[in-house]
Amino acid sequence: MRFLYLSQGTPPAQDRSMNTPHDAPLYLRLAQHYLGAIESGALSPGDRMPSVRSLTRLHQVSLSTALQACRYLEEKGWLEARERSGYYVCRPRRLSLPPSSEPPVPARIDAAQFLGIHERVSDFLARCEQHSLRLNLAQAFGSPEAYPAAALKNAAVRALRLQPDILVEPTPWHGEPGFRSVLARRALESGMRLTADEVVVTHGCTEAMNLALRAVTQPGDTVAVESPCYFGLLQIVQSLGLRSIEIPTSPQHGMSVEALELALQTQPIRTVVVIPNFQNPLGSVMPDDRKAAIVALCAQYGVALIEDDTYAALGDDEQPLRALKSWDEGGGVIHCASLHKTLAPGMRLGWINGGRWHARIKMLKYAQSRPNDAFLQLTAREFIASAAFNRHLNRLRRLLREQRSAVAESIARHFPAGTRLSMPQGGMLLWVQLPKLRNPRAMFETALREGIRFAPGWIFTNSDRYDNYLRLNCGIPFTPEFEAAIRRLAQIVQEAQA
């Protein structure tokens, strides 16, 4: 987790420790030279930096010094590397924000927090439908341009050619075999060893989470969830007649394992649900040692650990993030994921690996909606099995990083003092902590009336502890309209300040 520690109003030059003396290392002096060019406007955002090889010629430095200089500027956020095409000048990060508050370490877990999230989410959705929309920042997926529409269309046509009867044939039980194989193969990258038979295809991660919870709980049971918690999960929990208990979760390293242990000691918790990678809404990633610890803790207490691993492929770093499931030895972890964010928001393709509950989940899926249609699975398989999928993911990662960074900068520029933000290193969501507001719900209504929709903090909890937070989607291009919406939102927030 990297933070933007610069305080508001501070120009970056004062922070960047680049006014280097002459005895500074050569690469620093070279970097300083080019930073000057950027600040003077000789190199503008979007310009291509001279290639590393040409730097060696121009400045009579070694290849490694030239490379070090570029990497330094990249690390500081002035340059970005684009695959096979060199370094480019970034938009300058003029302003930035302090990170979001860490949750307090609880002395005890409060069990008296079972309000009706279902009504909150329903109310939120109903209000959204009442107002015409200028800009939707409430979603959690990219805009169509972020996904490979043409290639998927071709894959669909190919699938129809390959299996012309696919729309009229019975759907294969538990999922299309080829698609399940590809998923099992890709699971290796997250550290899991699965066979195709252990994968059950579902209607998105949402159905997978429903099945997981139905498999391991009875109505009335208690589920430990993150706080803040993805509102879709709170809704599932309530719709199944379950109770949720919210475990403090850090914007830096995810669910507090210590707080969870306390909860397991004192509450009748039946299962724990976690988004270990790019948590929704925080964007936090659990470090590997905490992932291992939470798996061990749940095994020790004999409770099922359900992971929603939808965002793992969307890190700035190509390095795949490990799934909790990769530490699972006794089958106590249920792994759920989907292609909804990474490949195609129009294809509701998810899957579940049920661990010990695999057979029960298969039957529940059969009873709940029968096997998924084969056609979309075959279409996805055609695409995922090709090299085009990784190329698409690289492009999407870069796009999301750029858009996230542009939105964060705009927030830093326009939002009032007291606004805080921890910068995630992947995914498409920003979780913004606002200064104290007189009436957060009125602020949300005002924005909605102006056609600006965001996900308000209170739908991510059963309590009122996130009333002055909001979640923004950076999956859509940062257009002038987007910038204008942020500016207007900032005014609305300012007017609503306590």
DSSP code for 172: P
Please tell me whether residue 443 binds its own copies under the rule CB under 8 A: no
Which of 58, 63, 111, 125 is close enough to bind its own copies by CB under 8 A? Answer: 125
Using CA atoms, how far residue 420 sits from 416, 431, 433, in Å, is 10, 9, 5
Please tell me whether residue 45 binds its own copies under the rule CB under 8 A: no
Q: Is the separation of the CB atoms in 259 and 105 below 8 Å? A: yes
Which of 153, 185, 391, 438 is close enough to bind its own copies by CB under 8 A? Answer: 153
Q: Count residues near its own copies (CB under 8 A).
A: 60
Q: How far apart are CA 217 and CA 140, in angstroms?
A: 28
Using CA atoms, how far residue 157 sits from 176, 375, 379, in Å, is 17, 10, 8
- Stretch 324-383 residues interacting with its own copies (CB under 8 A): 344-348, 363-364, 366-376, 379
Which of 108, 165, 387, 480 is close enough to bind its own copies by CB under 8 A? Answer: 165
Which of 210, 222, 342, 468 is close enough to bind its own copies by CB under 8 A? Answer: 210
Please tell me whether residue 167 binds its own copies under the rule CB under 8 A: yes
Q: How far apart are CA 378 and CA 383, in angstroms?
A: 9
* Choices 85-93, 143-151, 463-471, 482-490; region in contact with its own copies by CB under 8 A: 143-151
Please tell me whether residue 384 binds its own copies under the rule CB under 8 A: no
Please tell me whether residue 132 binds its own copies under the rule CB under 8 A: no
Please tell me whether residue 218 binds its own copies under the rule CB under 8 A: yes
**Nearest distance from residue 169's CB to its own copies, in Å?**
5
H-state helical runs in 278-424: 288-301, 358-369, 374-384, 388-414
**Nearest distance from residue 147's CB to its own copies, in Å?**
4
- Stretch 235-274 residues interacting with its own copies (CB under 8 A): 235-236, 239, 241
Q: How far apart are CA 247 and CA 245, in angstroms?
A: 7
Bridge partners (DSSP) listed for residue 277: 285
Please tell me whether residue 475 binds its own copies under the rule CB under 8 A: no
Q: How far apart are CA 64 and CA 61, in angstroms?
A: 8
**Nearest distance from residue 480's CB to its own copies, in Å?**
22
Q: Which is nearer to its own copies, 147 or 482 (CB)?
A: 147
* Choices 56-64, 114-122, 193-201, 398-406; region in contact with its own copies by CB under 8 A: 114-122
Which of 118, 398, 413, 441 is close enough to bind its own copies by CB under 8 A? Answer: 118
**Nearest distance from residue 342's CB to its own copies, in Å?**
11
The encoded tokens of residue 297 equal: 């803790």
Please tell me whether residue 123 binds its own copies under the rule CB under 8 A: no
Q: How far apart are CA 80 and CA 49, in angstroms?
A: 9
**Nearest distance from residue 310's CB to its own copies, in Å?**
13
The dihedral formed by the CA atoms of 423, 421, 396 and 341, expressed in degrees to the nearest 10: 120
Please tell me whether residue 482 binds its own copies under the rule CB under 8 A: no
Surface-to-core class of residue 419, CB atoms within 10 Å of its CB (0-12 exposed, 13-18 middle, 19+ buried): buried
Q: Are strands 200-203 and 349-353 parallel, antiparallel or unpaired?
A: antiparallel
Q: Name the phi and psi angles at 352, rounded to 5.
A: -140, 140
Q: Which is nearer to its own copies, 280 or 405 (CB)?
A: 280
Please tell me whether residue 114 binds its own copies under the rule CB under 8 A: no
3-state SS assignment for residue 279: coil
Q: Are strands 243-250 and 333-338 parallel, antiparallel or unpaired?
A: unpaired
Please tell me whether residue 222 binds its own copies under the rule CB under 8 A: no
3-state SS assignment for residue 234: helix
Q: Which is nearer to its own copies, 123 or 288 (CB)?
A: 123
* Choices 44-52, 141-149, 192-200, 315-323; region in contact with its own copies by CB under 8 A: 141-149
Bridge partners (DSSP) listed for residue 245: 224
DSSP labels, 185-227: HHHGGGT----GGG-EEEEHHHHHHHHHHHHH--TT-EEEEEE
* Choices 66-74, 229-237, 395-403, 465-473; region in contact with its own copies by CB under 8 A: 229-237
Q: How many C-beta neighbours within 10 Å does residue 126 have?
A: 9
Which of 68, 139, 310, 353 is close enough to bind its own copies by CB under 8 A? Answer: 139
Q: How many C-beta neighbours within 10 Å does residue 92 have?
A: 15
Q: Which is nearer to its own copies, 371 or 424 (CB)?
A: 371
**Nearest distance from residue 367's CB to its own copies, in Å?**
5
Please tell me whether residue 122 binds its own copies under the rule CB under 8 A: yes
Please tell me whether residue 206 binds its own copies under the rule CB under 8 A: yes
**Nearest distance from residue 414's CB to its own copies, in Å?**
27
Please tell me whether residue 459 binds its own copies under the rule CB under 8 A: no
Identify the helix (H) or strand (E) that includes residue 471.
strand 469-473
Q: Which is nearer to its own copies, 111 or 157 (CB)?
A: 157
Please tell me whether residue 194 binds its own copies under the rule CB under 8 A: no
Rg (CA), the chain: 24
Q: What is the distance, to the nearest Å, from the Cα of residue 169 to the centroid of all Cα atoms in its chain? A: 37
The encoded tokens of residue 283 equal: 């964007």
**Nearest distance from residue 212's CB to its own copies, in Å?**
13
Side by side, the strands of the sheet bearing 420-421 are: 420-421, 429-433, 469-473, 455-456
In the complex, the residues that contact its own copies under the rule CB under 8 A are 118, 121-122, 125, 129, 139, 141, 144, 146-150, 152-153, 156-157, 160, 164-171, 173, 202-204, 206-207, 210, 214, 218-219, 232, 235-236, 239, 241, 344-348, 363-364, 366-376, 379
